[in-house]
Amino acid sequence: MKKIRPKSIIMFHAKNKGKINKGEFKMVTATRPENKVKIGPTQLLINNKWVESASGKRFETINPSTGEVICDVAEADAADVDKAVIAARNAFNQGDWPKLSATQRGQLLYKLADLIEANIEELARLETLDNGKPYQDSLNADLQLVIACYRYYAGWADKIQGKTIPINGPYFCYTSHEPVGVVGQIIPWNFPLLMQAWKLAPALAAGNTVVMKTAEQTPLSALRLGELILEAGFPPGVVNLLSGYGPTAGQAIARHHDIDKVAFTGSTEVGHLIMEAAAQTNLKRVTLELGGKSPNIVFAYANLEQAIEGAHFGLFFNQGQCCCAGSRLFVEEKCYDEFVAKSVERAKQRIVGDPF
């Protein structure tokens, strides 16, 4: 293997200073998105009812493309988490949810996927307004994956099966998979609807109930999905959605003694805090999807044009707001200067502006 000398490369967005070639990313200016985007619920969804926070507090959510306030939403804290957990526990223990067969749970998830598909353009516009990602990414990437995720786990709902195990002696040995119980879920701001799907779909397919905190930066699309959850016919208390901040609502979820598991996607630093909180309370199960620092390695024999395109896609996809973004480059010394020069020119061709 040839010797590689690591160097840092600074990449940046800049206004277009040349022609955009075929196959390159280009943003298309549209009319004001606020005129086309339907703002859904701004309250908390607890026990299938939209309610204000216990404190009455609300906080603003911002359009990152313009810095303008879109609206304000209810700010949940520990008191609201308690109410949501009680609703989720009652739904898990004695509501209509445990009476449903696994096939019926799957049918509800299929119906939710169908409703998302029927409202796909509206949801994509709302995602772009609150998150800032290009509308075409929301519509043709994120929402397609969201729908596929719910349908995938809908199909698994009645296929979560145990097995019999042959052992010595006159004994019958078998395994049985059962739901964990009440699951606390905390999702990030970079893929709001997709991360919500990744958390909700498997938990519901397995028969759990959920208390979910949306990202404080991007609560709107996740709350709008709450309306579709109600329309799909999920029983009261099965899905509870809270908008709020990490140090208050998020910490309350991580430390709650009646939450059986917490699932978190976000920073490594907060992941440590959640593990600590889980250990200090009821030793709840924890699953974490945390940040990364993914490198691309470029050798001198590579096709530099293709390498630059691949590196830029890995870095700039979803505005670089991705746990697996290619945010490091190791370039062979022999082609380093040429790679940097061409990479800078490629970066200058990118257009940053109206995501619609």
Q: What are the DSSP calls for 285-312, one per residue?
A: EEEEE-----EEEE-TTS-HHHHHHHHH
Distance CA 244, CA 155 (A): 32
Mean pLDDT of 268-281: 96
* Cβ neighbours of 228 (radius 10 Å): 19
- Supply the pLDDT for residue 21: 38
Binned at pLDDT 50, 70 and 90, residue 318 comes out as low
96: pLDDT strictly greater than 70: yes
Average pLDDT over residues 61-88: 96
Q: Which domains does the chain have, with CATH numbers?
A: 1-30+293-356 (3.40.309.10), 38-289 (3.40.605.10)
Residue scoring higher pLDDT (310 or 164): 164
User: Does residue 339 or residue 124 have the better pLDDT?
Assistant: 124
Asked if the model's pLDDT at residue 7 lies above 80, the reply is no
Summarised one tens digit per residue, pLDDT across range 9-40 is 223 223 333 333 333 333 333 445 445 788 99
pTM: 0.84
* 91 φ/ψ angles, rounded to the nearest 5 degrees: -65, -35
**Residue 24 neighbours by CB distance under 10 Å:** 13
Query: How far is the C-alpha of 172 from the C-alpha of 178, rounded, in Å?
Result: 19
Per the model's pLDDT, the better-predicted residue between 279 and 310 turns out to be 279
Q: Could you tell me the pLDDT band of residue 295, with boundaries at 50, 70 and 90? A: confident
Q: How far apart are CA 230 and CA 236, in angstroms?
A: 9
Q: Which of 204, 213, 208 is nearest to 185 (CA)?
A: 213
Query: Terminal CA-to-CA distance of the chain, rounded, Å?
Result: 45
| Separation in Å, CA 187 to CA 147, 269, 313 | 18, 15, 24
Residue 56 has pLDDT above 90, yes or no: yes
Q: Which residues are catalytic?
A: 289
- What per-residue confidence (pLDDT) applies to 35? 54
Higher pLDDT, 238 or 322: 238
For 174-208, the pLDDT digits (tens) are: 999 999 999 999 999 998 999 999 999 999 999 99
Output the pLDDT for position 296: 87
